[in-house]
């Protein structure tokens, strides 16, 4: 507590004792709000690149090997005469996955909203360590730059899939992209992981130590619970990927054999002996699966907050929501083997992983039901953020349900690595998390920039995106059920799949339309940043503490004392109160009981 | 030049959209200053939610109508295939029911309870009984699916070597497949990539001194006798590959440095499968598409496409490099006699070596 007093006194003469220059305010800022904006803007830029790549892939799949001037313009030597090269197709697959999973949906989503909301919602002046926070962002920035630079190396960027399974990723002889491109990929990811760990440690310490008076763990908004647990999962699993990356670097550059054995390639036997690619798969998916929840939990946390606020109702089953976050977090660390049912590991392990995997459906189902019940008999304010949150619940259900098929080892034999998988994970983690990101931006834009986003553009953005997302990924299940493998540069060598070519064209058209309409968001975002309507302090009439801070950003967040907390975050439409919201800093009335949650 | 032009056109389109949005934006600006949803927004978007529910149902119906043949759920060609198909169909029915109900509730509530000024929401934070119910229902359903799945899985993966399965090695390399038959002794000779000797055509690295290897047969087509269990031993010489045989509901990765395995019993010969009405229709449809495409190709002065005839396939289903998309091998299931006849025509390993 003494820390608060300290910072508090120190804060009264805010603005006098340290001069802020352009560099300290906008570039090497240690203020969590500025760092959040930096994360968001970097994430949006990477998102534009990632989505553009997916459109190039979609055009190649729909109109295979046909000259296309867009390819010629954007891919240069990789599209001689406008015909896309097979190697660059795999590179697009790889980099699209990497960018979207790590740079957009991990750093862009978690980095933005954990940074923005943790101090503001728990009532802290800033993160536990502003300096580490700054370092964390700049390492992320550096890793983004390295990843982008890797597009331009002579032999092409990494092209072994975002899972970079060795030996393909280890041997330049196997694939051009496994030369300098893969080195840069590994360096970029190693730096990214360090950035992510610094961020996560900071979030954990801040949530545990810097909560304001009265903010007990059971009064935390669900956003904070989600960010907190996400950070814990990150700290548990990211180091394992770091070790996998380091071992792979050793195999590639220093002749060790952790993942390689008995290889004959291009007419020669390589010296590697005794390693196993399956070991790499274990290490990779020990992060890779929790990563799905690192991406998804923050989105669900944002959704919880947005749905409760805009339903003008308490979130239904707060305790169950927290319990299911904890259950998902725990289970997520013991299900990684479901990516490896047919990797050659012992079939008995497959049984174990089937069991744990299907268990995860239970907390997920509880979350979905609780969201739906929160809507029931609400007074729904259908703001753009609310639409994206409802959209998230919808795609989370549609995408999550097919997990019952993929998590079942017996069924996975059949649909493993087909388009069915692509449809499943894009809906359940890609689109859902993206919706979470959008919901967060629409909801907290006023908090970030002091201005409002245009709601009508928001409505157009949502409805077109929602239709296109289903238009792209729903039919994709069906070509998966025809047995079509993913990551094929063209399907024209298999007449068996000729009857899926129309579906591919349909999907591509939806993808292009959906992609183009993201420009509406981009315009809204940039324009509103400078010319949007000025916001009032609490535009959504929300209960959480960030809306008690002044609109104008200031170092230390609150001009006077930090507000104290007297109730949970979900006293919406509480009987006995005039208005339909009671912020957390309002003391209980005489005789008013706090809900036992 | 064309590159520059394209970029200019793309830029132009972007600017056009940008400007349209701007005009739209400016037109809106004077009407309504608040960017928070008002009753009209709630009403419009509430109805759109209902429409969107219709869209989800619509796309589901259209998808099933157009592409609902779902080749991976019917006409399997292996003994364990129908088991997987049954489990698949049960899972899909469960998913379909849950999807239909939950999407209805979600979107209907979003429509029904759209906000109105002055109305107050119901303060309803908890109901242990309700939450208990919807925890227990998934538990029961999943318990059933898990049990069924695990039995099916262990049935498929536990290989009974007493049944005297035919031993076949599947050998993967960038970017083709080879099959190695164990010959009359039905024992595969020892092999390691270190023993590969391209000079005397020992391409799979068989141990030339191993007596079991002498009668092995290496082929580029996979022939299987109908009705006999086959135990595949998989090897890869360079990177990960995956041997995917969708018609047999079979798949296993090929991992350099280790031998993986998968077993199944083919039950339908290639000839029988070609006469299967579903497959016959499918092939006819595919040929219709190919004829149409051929006409377009010929108009451009290119070669027309071949006529398609059904064959079982082995595909590579793990990203393995540039020509991953074309790494395939034909599988032919035939009667025991035809199979034996074919095998006898093939060269034995000891006779295939080139003596220098």
Whether B265 is in a domain gets the answer yes
Q: If you write DSSP's letter for every residue of A55-119 in order, what string do you get?
A: HHHHHHHHSTT---HHHHHHHGGGSGGGPPPHHHHHHHHHHHHHIIIIIIIIIIIIIHHHHHHHH
In this complex, how many residue pairs, one in chain A and one in chain B, have their CB atoms less than 8 Å apart? 424
d(CA A251, CA A258): 6
Residue B5 has pLDDT above 80, yes or no: no
Nearest CA to A472 out of A512, A439, A502, A501 is that of: A512
User: What's the pLDDT at A5?
Assistant: 41
Percentage of chain A lying above the pLDDT 90 cut: 89
pLDDT in tens, B142-161: 999 999 999 999 999 998 87
From the list A276, A376, A488, the residue facing B257 with the nearest CB is A276
Whether B301 is in a domain gets the answer no
The answer to whether the Cβ–Cβ distance between B6 and A72 falls below 8 Å is: yes
Nearest CA to B79 out of B4, B152, B13, B129 is that of: B152
d(CA A466, CA B63): 17
User: What's the pLDDT at A13?
Assistant: 42
Residue B127 has pLDDT above 80, yes or no: yes
**Architecture of the domain made up of A31-259+275-548:** Up-down Bundle (1.20)
Whether B205 is in a domain gets the answer yes
Nearest CA to A395 out of A416, A363, A371, A419 is that of: A371
The answer to whether the Cβ–Cβ distance between B105 and A372 falls below 8 Å is: yes
Domain boundaries, chain A: 31-259+275-548
From the list B72, B156, B258, the residue facing A410 with the nearest CB is B156
pLDDT, greater one: A284 or B9:
A284
Average pLDDT, chain B: 92
* Most B CBs within 10 Å, among A270, A306, A344, to test the B interface: A344
d(CA B3, CA A75): 10
- List b or e across A309-325, with b for residues whose CB sees 16 or more CB atoms inside 10 angstroms: bbbbbbbbbbebbbebb
The answer to whether the Cβ–Cβ distance between B322 and A87 falls below 8 Å is: yes
Whether B3 is in a domain gets the answer no
**Domain coverage including residue B247:** 161-272+306-352
d(CA A29, CA A134): 6
Residue of chain B whose alpha carbon sits nearest to that of A314: B125
Distance from CA of B126 to the nearest CA of A (A): 5
Residue A552, C-beta contacts closer than 8 angstroms, at least 6 positions apart: A450
Distance from CA of A25 to the nearest CA of B (A): 29
CATH number, domain containing residue B310: 2.60.40.420
Splitting chain A (597 residues) into consecutive groups of 10 residues, what average pLDDT does each group show? 42 51 83 95 96 96 90 90 93 96 95 96 94 96 96 93 94 93 95 96 96 94 97 95 95 94 93 95 94 95 96 94 95 94 93 93 94 95 96 96 94 95 95 97 96 95 97 96 94 93 95 95 94 92 94 90 94 91 92 75
Residue of chain A whose alpha carbon sits nearest to that of B62: A475
User: What's the pLDDT at B10?
Assistant: 78
- List b or e across B29-39, with b for residues whose CB sees 16 or more CB atoms inside 10 angstroms: eeeeeebbbee
* Most A CBs within 10 Å, among B194, B256, B278, B287, to test the A interface: B256
Whether B289 is in a domain gets the answer no
* Most A CBs within 10 Å, among B10, B40, B76, B257, to test the A interface: B257
Nearest CA to A403 out of A428, A381, A439 is that of: A428
User: What's the pLDDT at A596?
Assistant: 62
The answer to whether the Cβ–Cβ distance between B91 and A503 falls below 8 Å is: no
Distance from CA of B336 to the nearest CA of A (A): 26
Residues in chain B: 356
The answer to whether the Cβ–Cβ distance between B73 and A501 falls below 8 Å is: no
Distance from CA of A192 to the nearest CA of B (A): 25
**What is the number of H-type helices and E-type strands within chain A?**
20, 2
């Amino acid at each position: 507590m003494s820390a608060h007093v300290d910072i508090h006194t120190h804060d009264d003469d805010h603005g006098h004792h340290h001069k802020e220059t352009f560099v300290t305010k906008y570039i090497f800022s240690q203020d969590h709000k500025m760092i959040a904006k930096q994360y968001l803007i970097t994430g949006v830029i990477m998102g534009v690149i990632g989505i553009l790549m997916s459109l190039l892939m979609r055009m190649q799949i729909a109109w295979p090997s046909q000259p296309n001037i867009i390819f010629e313009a954007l891919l240069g030597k990789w599209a001689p005469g406008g015909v896309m090269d097979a190697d660059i197709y795999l590179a697009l697959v790889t980099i699209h996955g990497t960018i979207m999973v790590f740079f957009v949906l991990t750093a862009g989503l978690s980095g933005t909203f954990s940074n923005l909301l943790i101090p503001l919602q728990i009532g802290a002046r800033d993160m536990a360590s502003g300096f580490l926070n700054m370092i964390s962002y700049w390492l992320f920035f550096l890793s983004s730059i390295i990843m982008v630079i890797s597009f331009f190396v002579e032999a092409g960027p990494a092209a072994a899939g975002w899972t970079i399974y060795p030996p393909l990723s280890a041997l330049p002889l196997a694939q051009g992209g496994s030369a300098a491109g893969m080195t840069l990929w590994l360096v970029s990811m190693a730096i990214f992981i360090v950035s992510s760990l610094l961020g996560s440690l900071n979030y954990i310490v801040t949530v545990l130590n810097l909560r304001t008076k009265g903010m007990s763990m059971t009064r935390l908004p669900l956003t904070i619970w989600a960010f907190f647990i996400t950070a814990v999962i990150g700290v548990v699993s990211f180091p394992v990927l770091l070790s996998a990356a380091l071992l792979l670097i050793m195999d590639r550059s220093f002749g060790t054999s952790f993942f390689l054995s008995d290889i004959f390639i291009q007419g020669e036997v390589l010296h590697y002996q005794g390693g196993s690619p399956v070991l790499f798969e274990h290490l990779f998916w020990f992060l890779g699966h929790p990563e799905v929840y690192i991406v998804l939990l923050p989105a669900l946390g944002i959704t919880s907050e947005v749905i409760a606020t805009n339903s003008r109702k308490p979130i239904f089953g707060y305790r169950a929501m927290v319990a299911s976050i904890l259950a998902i977090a725990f289970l997520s660390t013991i299900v990684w083997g479901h990516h490896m049912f047919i990797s050659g590991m012992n079939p008995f392990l497959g049984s174990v992983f089937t069991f744990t995997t299907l268990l995860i459906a239970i907390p997920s189902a509880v979350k979905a039901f609780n969201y739906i019940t929160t809507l029931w008999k609400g007074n729904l304010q259908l703001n753009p953020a609310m639409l994206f949150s409802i959209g998230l619940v919808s795609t989370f259900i549609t995408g999550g349900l097919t997990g019952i098929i993929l998590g079942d080892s017996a069924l996975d034999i059949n649909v493993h690595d087909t388009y069915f998988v692509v449809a499943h994970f894009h809906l359940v983690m890609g689109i859902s998390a993206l919706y979470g990101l959008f919901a967060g931006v629409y909801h907290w834009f006023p908090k970030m920039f002091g201005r409002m986003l245009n709601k009508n553009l928001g409505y157009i953005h949502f409805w077109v995106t929602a239709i296109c997302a289903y238009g792209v990924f729903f039919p994709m299940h069906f070509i998966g059920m025809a047995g079509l493998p993913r990551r094929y540069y063209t399907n024209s060598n298999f007449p068996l799949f000729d009857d899926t070519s129309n579906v591919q064209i349909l999907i591509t058209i939806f993808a292009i339309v959906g992609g183009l309409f993201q420009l509406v968001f981009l315009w809204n975002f940039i324009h509103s940043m400078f010319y949007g309507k000025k916001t009032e302090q609490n535009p959504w009439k929300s209960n959480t503490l960030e809306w008690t801070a002044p609109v104008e950003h200031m170092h230390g967040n609150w001009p006077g004392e930090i507000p104290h907390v007297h109730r949970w975050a979900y006293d919406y439409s509480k009987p006995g109160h005039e208005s339909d919201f009671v912020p957390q800093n309002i003391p209980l009335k005489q005789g008013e009981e706090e809900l036992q949650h | 030049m064309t590159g520059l032009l394209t970029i200019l056109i793309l830029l132009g389109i972007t600017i056009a959209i940008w400007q349209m949005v701007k005009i739209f934006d400016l037109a809106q600006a004077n009407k309504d200053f608040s960017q928070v949803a008002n009753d009209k927004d709630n009403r419009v978007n509430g109805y759109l939610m209902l429409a969107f529910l219709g869209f989800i149902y619509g796309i589901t119906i259209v998808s099933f109508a157009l592409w609902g043949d779902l080749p991976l759920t019917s006409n399997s060609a292996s003994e364990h295939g129908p088991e997987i198909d049954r489990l698949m169909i049960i899972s899909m029915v469960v998913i379909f029911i849950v999807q239909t109900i939950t999407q209805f509730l979600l979107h209907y509530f979003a429509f029904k309870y759209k906000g109105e000024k002055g109305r107050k929401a119901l303060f309803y934070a908890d109901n242990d009984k309700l939450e208990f119910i919807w925890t227990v229902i998934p538990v029961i359903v999943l318990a059933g699916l898990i049990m069924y799945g695990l039995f099916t899985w262990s049935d498929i993966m536990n290989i009974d070597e007493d049944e005297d399965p035919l031993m076949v090695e599947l050998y993967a390399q960038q970017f083709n497949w080879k099959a190695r038959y164990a010959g009359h002794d039905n024992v595969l000779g020892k092999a390691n990539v270190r023993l590969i000797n391209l000079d005397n055509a020992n391409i799979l690295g068989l141990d030339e001194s191993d007596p079991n290897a002498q009668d092995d047969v290496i082929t580029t087509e996979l022939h299987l006798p109908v009705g006999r269990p086959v135990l595949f031993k998989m090897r890869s010489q360079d990177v990960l590959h995956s041997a995917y045989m969708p018609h047999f509901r079979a798949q296993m990765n090929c991992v350099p440095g280790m031998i993986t395995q998968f077993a199944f019993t083919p039950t339908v010969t290639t000839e029988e499968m070609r006469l299967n009405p579903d497959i016959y229709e499918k092939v006819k449809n595919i040929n219709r598409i190919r004829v149409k495409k051929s006409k377009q190709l010929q108009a451009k002065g290119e070669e027309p496409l071949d006529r398609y005839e059904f064959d079982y396939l082995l595909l590579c289903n793990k990203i393995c490099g540039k020509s991953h998309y074309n790494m395939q091998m034909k599988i032919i299931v035939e009667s025991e006699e035809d199979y034996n006849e074919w095998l006898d025509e093939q060269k034995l390993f000891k006779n295939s070596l080139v003596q220098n």
